[in-house]
Amino acid sequence: MVAPPAATGQVLLTAEGVSKAFGGAQALRDVSVTIRPGVVHGFVGANGAGKSTLIRILAGVHHPDSGSIHLDGQEVHITTPLVASQLGLAFIHQEMSIIPGWDVLRNMALGMPYRTRAGIIDWKATRVRAAAVAKRVGIHFSLDTLIDDLSTADKWLVMIARALMQDARLIAMDEPTASLSPQESNRLHEIIRELTAAGTAVIFVSHRLAEVSELCEDVTVFKDGRVVRSAVNERLSSHELVQAIVGRRMELTQRPEPPTSVGDVVLDARHVSDGRMVKDVSLQVRAGEVVGLGGLVGSGRTEFARLLYGAERMRSGDVALPDGAVRFAEPADAVAMGLGMVPEERRSQGVFLDKSIDFNINLASLNSLRVSRFVPWLKLGVGRRRAERLIKEVGIKTRGAGQPVGSLSGGNQQKVALARWLAEDRKVLILDEPSRGVDVGARAEIHNLIRELAARGAAVLVVSSDNEELVALCDRVVVMADGHVCGEVVGDDVTIQAILALSFSRAHHPKEVA
């Protein structure tokens, strides 16, 4: 454990020796952090380093296995989010907890105690309070505006205002600028400075190290569930932060054998942009090759993959397949042209949980099961036999092809999503977080399956936030940051350290970001 230096001045909150494990895996190891009032405290580290786990413990979402939390010098037990709120701790997660269809006032008033003796909300008093808070954070729109009509930056203002409505003494912000423009980010920075000037403590989680260096007076660096550096009243440079995050030594991950043969370019994306999260990205994938797409949260990886597949609209750029240039209006067009995709959200987007395994496997290749092109009936027996063959081939552990996918383990659900694209040969496979949420054994089986798909001639693009996965699986890795491609590593140069260094590289050169 790296103990934080003694804070100068008053201390608001301390976490001492906090540890937390999930399923036997240690997420936090003896972590100690000191939060001072009126100070912006940066939490930085690679994905999975432990930042969010500690925040969820402070928020009452998770409970520590050991250690203690003190507020104003008194030990507190934050058992639920309500307890955290009552203690004056507010948390704004990257997936903001707003209520669509509600206006700004009602979203600001969530959790407010302003009620009359009859037990109903005193909306008059609430509006007066909300108007004062809105003025404080610079909300320029009406409190009656629908939350759906606001920009991401303005929604962040509403979330900050909600925290102040509850007299929050500490506000934790998880990646607040990941989806904001430079102008919107600067505006948020000004508001944060005003909050801390008034005595509010702010925990600021960001992968943009330049803004951490500029904004944060205190910084805690997490790595592998531990605190590896803690600075109080000291602004660390981007270079110092990268050194602490990457570390001097990195554990080596076994590299895959290089492909025996790589064919022609099958997927050729040129200058692809969506006008927001993806900015002028070019990438090629060849037949028989597994290409990784890495980067930090908010880098634009998933958004780029969805543009390729037609799940989102491109504003500019071109995508070419062997048959010529294409621009898919919807995913069905991509499937018809020989592309397959396993999305990041497996349970909500990748499979139908209430449907059978054979239904899910055959879903993308129903045309091949039709009695004829003029008759909409399907050869159900052929589909069932094909599903049973793929169940054995992929190694899905099940009672039979008719078992609902929702009753399978996470790893087996992922195998079903992959098997769908084995039913017919696919030219290109886009796999977003292919082994997220599965155990070590299932992860190895899924990796072997992906390598086998490439050996059959498929061009495979793997999008992953797990750098160890990229090293273990990919022939080369393209790294994105702030919506741009910031570099590429190939062959033996594909290491966790190299991917991390590229991921953070744009933080050193903010002026280069358009």
* 439/469 same-domain check: yes
* 447/500 same-domain check: yes
Nearest-angstrom CA–CA distance, 383 and 404: 16
What average pLDDT does the chain have?
Answer: 83
For the chain, the residue count is: 514
**DSSP structure class, residue 212:** H
* 390/495 same-domain check: no
Amino acid symbol at 394: V
* Structural domain includes residue 55: yes
Nearest partner of 501 among 295, 216, 233, 202, judged by Cα = 295
* Residue 432 CA to its chain's centroid (Å): 11
Nearest-angstrom CA–CA distance, 52 and 62: 10
Nearest-angstrom CA–CA distance, 149 and 147: 5
* 187/299 same-domain check: no
Amino acid symbol at 204: F
SS3 category, 140: coil
Nearest-angstrom CA–CA distance, 35 and 76: 15
**DSSP structure class, residue 375:** E
Cα-Cα-Cα-Cα torsion 256, 258, 262, 265, nearest 10 degrees, comes to: 60
Assessment of whether the complete model's pTM goes beyond 0.75: no
Nearest partner of 462 among 504, 408, 413, 499, judged by Cα = 499
pLDDT at residue 114 is higher than 70 = no
Residue range(s) defining the domain that contains residue 430: 253-338+426-514
* Structural domain includes residue 273: yes
Nearest partner of 224 among 196, 206, 249, 192, judged by Cα = 249
The per-residue pLDDT for range 138-149, each reduced to its tens digit, is 888 999 999 999
* 72/30 same-domain check: yes
* Structural domain includes residue 405: yes
Query: From the DSSP assignment, how many helices (H) and strands (E) are in the chain?
Result: 16, 22
**What would the mean pLDDT of 52-81 be, rounded to a whole number?**
94
* Structural domain includes residue 94: no
% of the chain exceeding 90 in pLDDT: 32
Nearest-angstrom CA–CA distance, 490 and 255: 11
* Structural domain includes residue 345: no
pLDDT at residue 217 is higher than 50 = yes
Q: Which residue has the higher pLDDT, 111 or 308?
A: 308
Domain boundary among 112, 132, 166: 166
**Do residues 422 and 365 lie in contact, with contact meaning Cβ atoms separated by under 8 Å?**
no
* Structural domain includes residue 348: no
Give the number of other CB atoms < 10 A from CB of residue 324.
7
* 368/478 same-domain check: no
**What would the mean pLDDT of 337-346 be, rounded to a whole number?**
80
Nearest-angstrom CA–CA distance, 129 and 310: 45
Residue with tokens 């729109």: 141
Which structure tokens are listed for 78? 């934050």
pLDDT band at 116 (very low <50, low <70, confident <90, very high): low
* Residue 39 CA to its chain's centroid (Å): 27
pLDDT at residue 340 is higher than 50 = yes
Nearest-angstrom CA–CA distance, 296 and 470: 13
pLDDT score, position 91? 92
pLDDT score, position 338? 80
* Structural domain includes residue 472: yes
pLDDT at residue 31 is higher than 50 = yes
The helix (H) or strand (E) run that includes residue 105 is helix 104-108
Nearest partner of 65 among 13, 26, 14, judged by Cα = 26
* 214/263 same-domain check: no
Phi, psi of 357 (to 5 degrees): -65, -45
Nearest-angstrom CA–CA distance, 48 and 204: 16
* 81/227 same-domain check: yes
* 202/75 same-domain check: yes
Domain boundary among 248, 279, 308: 248
pLDDT score, position 485? 92
Domain boundary among 202, 231, 248: 248
- Please report, in angstroms and rounded to a whole number, the separation of the first and last CA atoms in the chain: 40
The per-residue pLDDT for range 395-413, each reduced to its tens digit, is 888 888 888 888 887 778 8
Nearest-angstrom CA–CA distance, 417 and 248: 39
pLDDT score, position 513? 32
CATH of the domain at 40: 3.40.50.300
The per-residue pLDDT for range 226-275, each reduced to its tens digit, is 999 999 988 888 778 878 887 654 444 566 777 667 889 999 999 999 88
* 181/32 same-domain check: yes
Give the number of other CB atoms < 10 A from CB of residue 169.
19
* Structural domain includes residue 137: yes
Which structure tokens are listed for 281? 């990205």
The count of domains in the chain is 4
Nearest-angstrom CA–CA distance, 89 and 118: 28
pLDDT score, position 368? 66
Nearest-angstrom CA–CA distance, 444 and 430: 18
* 174/80 same-domain check: yes
pLDDT score, position 2? 44
* 437/494 same-domain check: yes
pLDDT score, position 3? 40
